[in-house]
Amino acid sequence: MQDTWLKLENAGVEDSVIHNPAGFITRVAQHAVTSHLRNQRRRNEIDGELTEILWENCDLVSPERALIGRENLKAVRKALDELPEKTRTIFLMNRIDGISHRQLAELHGITSEAVYYHIRRALEHLADLRSELSD
């Protein structure tokens, strides 16, 4: 609702006449919902990839698997250290501390889209690491 209101507020239609206000509002609302669902679907895909990276199913813990796990953890830490500080901070605050995109945007004085960009950047970096580890 807030996104729809903001889009209507910033539509810049002062000079033109809207012949079907209800249709215009409906269209703006549909676009906002579609955009939100598309973004949410992508976030869920990225979350799934991260879950696979960090929480590999393991029925049997052998010394070898424990060593591999420790080495993978070191690689993840190193990959996180390679990220720009702001990206790493936003990513960890979101994924470890559970702080929402909106709260992070307010804390860092950036938009929610910028928060999403930082998190996506970190996840893509970790996905590259996963590809390297599985080779």
Structural domain 59-135, CATH architecture: Orthogonal Bundle (1.10)
**Which tens digit of pLDDT belongs to each residue from 59-95?**
566 788 788 889 988 999 999 999 999 999 999 999 9
Q: Tell me, rounded to whole angstroms, the distance of Cα 53 from its chain centroid.
A: 16
Give the pLDDT confidence score for residue 11 in this predicted structure.
66
Cα separation, 20 vs 111, in Å, equals 32
How far is CA 10 from each of CA 5, 21, 106, 112, 130, rounded to the nearest angstrom?
9, 15, 21, 18, 42
Q: What is the pLDDT averaged over residues 125-135?
A: 86
Q: What is the pLDDT averaged over residues 116-122?
A: 94
Sequence spans of domains, the chain: 1-55, 59-135
The residue ranking higher by pLDDT, 110 or 19, is: 110
Q: What is the pLDDT averaged over residues 25-37?
A: 84
Mean of all residue pLDDT scores within the chain: 84
Residue at 132: amino acid letter: E
Token pair belonging to 102: 């909106």
